[in-house]
Amino acid sequence: MTRQIEAIGRKALCVKCDIASFSKAEFVVNVAVKAFGRLDILVNNAGMNWDGVCWKMSEELWDQVLDVNLKGYFNFTRHAASLLKEQKYGRIINITSINGMRGKFGQTKYSASKAGIIGYTKALAKELGAFGVTVNAVAPGLIETAILKASEARDKILALVMAEIVLKRVGQREDLANVIAFLASDRAKHVTGEVIKVDGGQYI
């Protein structure tokens, strides 16, 4: 991805980080500001899950998912928000999931973390709105990722999900990226506190 960005004449920087670490998130934000001079857009996109019903779930797995999917978003936002607030401009986009809106069997911890992101987004939008900072969430349904393509259960997953998708096509990464790009732009300057589904009608 870094090479692709640089190929079109833009500057790119890749930094490896444990998003669940408060101090490492601060380090990455500082590195980005030093490299680019300022910070305007934060997209919180890291996520993980371990499927399993609640009565078989370990405390360790619960904590791992919540630490990455919810606390990780706080970690980065905490260190970026003060910068955006001071410059009176910024865009924060949090990636949640339609399963945070409806819940899903076998994904209580994942659904809880993604639902938390929605509440966090709306509250944060109220806190930062007066400073010219918008905060929105994007809730994808099934997206054709490299992980899905490589999964041995891909065909089974697609068969189950296609029955839910109104548009009868699997979402592509570009479908999600286009909405994120809109929310990050000045075309969305009057949009905040929203949760936009990108799911081909899977939720309905």
| Spatial CB neighbours of 134, under 8 Å, sequence gap ≥ 6 | 90, 91, 92, 125, 128, 183, 188, 189, 191, 192
46/106 Cα distance (integer angstroms)? 20
151/51 Cα distance (integer angstroms)? 14
Does this model's pTM top 0.75? yes
Q: What is the 3-state secondary structure (H, E, C) of the chain?
A: CHHHHHHCCCCCCCCCCCCCCHHHHHHHHHHHHHHHCCCCEEEECCCCCCCCCHHHCCHHHHHHHHHHHHHHHHHHHHHHHHHHHHHCCEEEEEECCCHHHHCCCCCHHHHHHHHHHHHHHHHHHHHHHHHCEEEEEEEECCECCHHHHHCCCHHHHHHHHHCCCCCCCCECHHHHHHHHHHHHCHHHCCCCCCEEEECCCCCC
Average pLDDT for 31-47:
95
Q: What is the pLDDT of residues 75-94, one digit of tens each?
A: 999 999 999 999 999 999 99
Do the beta carbons of residue 39 and residue 80 sit within 8 Å? yes
pLDDT at 101 over 90: yes
| Single-letter amino acid, residue 201 | G
Say what the pLDDT of residue 106 is.
80
Catalytically annotated residues: 110
How far lies 99's CA from each of 9, 14, 91, 203, in Å? 38, 29, 24, 8
Percent of the chain past pLDDT 70, that is, above it, reads: 100
pLDDT band at 150 (very low <50, low <70, confident <90, very high): confident
Say what the pLDDT of residue 66 is.
94
| Single-letter amino acid, residue 186 | D
Do the beta carbons of residue 186 and residue 128 sit within 8 Å? no
pLDDT at 57 over 90: no
pLDDT band at 118 (very low <50, low <70, confident <90, very high): very high
What domains can you pick out in the chain, each with its CATH number?
40-198 (3.40.50.720)
91/15 Cα distance (integer angstroms)? 20
